[in-house]
Amino acid sequence: MLKPSLTDFTDFIEKPVKPMSKTEIQKNTNLYMNIALFLVVIIGFIILYYRNKYKTESKQKAQQTISHFEDYMNDYVIHSMLEEQNNNIPY
């Protein structure tokens, strides 16, 4: 017959979990906030870089659009003036 062995029941009891202190929580949130702000700054620099890179192209495109609009308006004004003159000529 087997002899029963003595067991230590403290091995079967779950040990209490040490609660996180406020400083540990603050360190974790500070780390996440630093990472988020760093990403925002990097995205801002990328946007400024592309904005500066295509600045001359956008200015040229705007100038072309303005000149085309001005040409269109001049043609329209001249055409409307000619029509008025044609309509006002007495026969």
pLDDT tens per residue across span 58-74: 899 999 999 999 888 88
With cut-offs at 50, 70 and 90, classify the pLDDT of residue 39: very high
Q: How far apart are CA 71 and CA 82, in angstroms?
A: 16
Helix axes 55-88, 22-53, angle to 10 degrees: 50
Q: How far apart are CA 24 and CA 17, in angstroms?
A: 15
Q: How far apart are CA 86 and CA 74, in angstroms?
A: 18
Query: For 26-51, what is the mean pLDDT?
Result: 92
Whole-prediction pTM: 0.46
Per DSSP, the three-state class of 6 is coil
Q: How far apart are CA 73 and CA 7, in angstroms?
A: 100
The whole-number pLDDT of residue 10 equals: 73
